[in-house]
Amino acid sequence: MAAPKRENQTGSQSPQKRTKKVHNQHQNNLISHIDGVSSNPNRSGNLPDDILDRIFSFLPIKQAVEIGVLSPRFKKSWLFNRKILFDREFARHHDREEYIHIVNHVFNSHVGSRIQSLSLCFDPTAKEHMIERWLKICAEKGIEELDLDFFQGRDVFKISQFLDIKSLTTLKLVYCEVDLPPQLTGLSFLTTLILKKVDLNTETMETLFFHCLLLETVDLWQCCNIQHLKVCARSLKRFKVLKVRHCTEILSIEIDAPTLRSIYYIGNVVKFQFAEVLHLDEVLLNFSPSRCFAKASLVENLVSDLSYANVLTTTSAFLEGLTTRIRDGAFRDLQFRLWNLKEFQLFMEGTSYCNLFDIASFLKNCPSLEKLFLDLNDFSFDCGFYWELHQKQLLQYFPHFFTGLKFIKVKGFKFQKHELELVRFLLGKAVFLETLVLVTPRTGRVRIYEPADAINYKRLIFSWRASPKTNIVLLDHYHDKGPVQPKVSQFG
């Protein structure tokens, strides 16, 4: 049987270029439409200023200005714009002084009654007074969405009284230091809080959870100076999503949030403590690999709190924490059940010793599992002597069947020995499996060119099926566009 051919690279247009092209097409269509309206009085109907105010409020300020050059009728309409968005894309095309001059001119010229959104991205050093004035104007005009991205700053931007804005519903801060006033009167309508590279402490987070009773989403990314995160959200009736990513100083996360439905965590293995077992819709746990036994015990304690999660996305480091080991003086499995788990997505990490038996031992504890996604990426199974002498035989006589499993996708499939053993095991145990999809690596180093290769591999894999109705699909990675995709698509 011929092995799949390899190549070093595949050529394709980048997603960024495709997105920009589509965006420009939509913008040109919109400009053409408005141009047609402005050139035909019967179509424009002499719209009053308040209607124009409303129309242009839906456009970012840059597009409003571009459209304003089409005719005298629209020349000044940008002055009513509600979305003052000067984000990273805009900042890339202007130096600092020019950027500040443009933003300041917009605020000096703005005559609209409302400002819905403000997005800034520049070095705020020595411009604190100017930012304070802009924010004061926004507060007076009922701003709802505030995005301050100061990653270019020489020092962390200190923000305190600027945050006490009552109308805010969405707040995003990058490279800031949050100093909340003792008596917080603003942020009472806040629903979304995103903090990236922000100096935090336990008291600040407790204050936010206490005062922001409408919070729905909290996203902490690369925040520092906080070791013990307490999510005290029992009085919050709408709190649904918690994201904690790359906050390296965090040691523990304490969660008291009955309405929480989604948890996304990326970082070192930390202690999770739940006030009660939650019915979670989605859980993402991207643990950094650790050889520490104490870290493994933290994973063991966590899995019991995920008993009623519906979707779980994690890495092989999580499975390593659950593997068979000496527990209470005896070599035995960890006893747990994920009763509601319908979808499981596993990313295999290159530094992990997770093997086929660890995967099988986990799957047997998921009685309701319907969809399984395995991303092998550049991972190669290094099973070792213990696998060859003990676990391999246990897997051959594995007594459990995965009766609910209907769909399996294995990405980064390289047709290696242990990968084929994994597929053979899954096909033999998923007795009601409907579809198995095998996708070659994203690197393009393994691709199926010859139809004969696909036919020969399909014939071999078909012979392993427990169900004759199982459909088997072999795909190169750029053809992986089927309707069945994992609910959690991004992992980093």
Quick count: other Cβ atoms within 10 Å of Cβ 238? Answer: 12
DSSP 62-124: HHHHHHHTS-GGGTTGGGG-SEEEE-HHHHTTS-HHHHHHHHHHHHHH---S---EEEEES--
DSSP 215-282: --EEEEES-BS-SEEEEE-TT-SS--EEEEES-TT--EEEEE-TT--EEEEEES--EEEESS----SE
Provide the pLDDT for residue 340.
Answer: 96
Q: What is the pLDDT of residues 274-322, one digit of tens each?
A: 999 999 999 999 998 766 655 778 998 899 999 999 999 999 889 888 8
Provide the pLDDT for residue 293.
Answer: 53
Q: Hey, what long-range contacts does 52-60 have (CB within 8 A, 24 or more apart)?
A: 52/77, 52/80, 53/77, 53/80, 53/112, 53/113, 56/80, 56/81, 57/81, 57/82, 57/83, 57/112, 57/114, 57/116, 58/83, 59/83, 60/85
User: Rounded to an integer, what distance in angstroms lies between the CA atom of residue 435 and that of residue 315?
Assistant: 23
Task: Read off the amino acid at residue 164.
Answer: D
Reduced to 3 states (helix: H, G, I; strand: E, B; else coil), residue 133 is: helix
The domain spans of the chain are 49-140, 156-260, 290-491
User: Rounded to an integer, what distance in angstroms lies between the CA atom of residue 206 and that of residue 233?
Assistant: 9
The stretches in the chain having pLDDT less than 70 are: 1-47, 49-50, 52-54, 56-58, 64, 66-74, 160-162, 182, 290-294, 325-326, 331, 350-352, 382-390, 444-454, 490-492
Could you tell me the two tokens for 122?
Answer: 């520049």
Provide the pLDDT for residue 444.
Answer: 67
Provide the pLDDT for residue 24.
Answer: 52
Q: Domain 290-491, what architecture? A: Alpha-Beta Horseshoe (3.80)
Provide the pLDDT for residue 283.
Answer: 97
| Of the candidates 410, 347, 325, 338, the residue with the CA atom closest to the CA atom of residue 367 | 338
Provide the pLDDT for residue 460.
Answer: 87
Provide the pLDDT for residue 332.
Answer: 73
Provide the pLDDT for residue 281.
Answer: 97
User: Rounded to an integer, what distance in angstroms lies between the CA atom of residue 34 and that of residue 43?
Assistant: 10
Provide the pLDDT for residue 458.
Answer: 78
| Of the candidates 364, 415, 387, 348, the residue with the CA atom closest to the CA atom of residue 3 | 415
DSSP 402-455: -TT--EEEEES----HHHHHHHHHHHHH-TT--EEEEE--TTSSSB--SHHHHH
To 5 degrees, how large is the angle CA 337–CA 381–CA 411?
75
Strands 471-475 and 325-327: unpaired
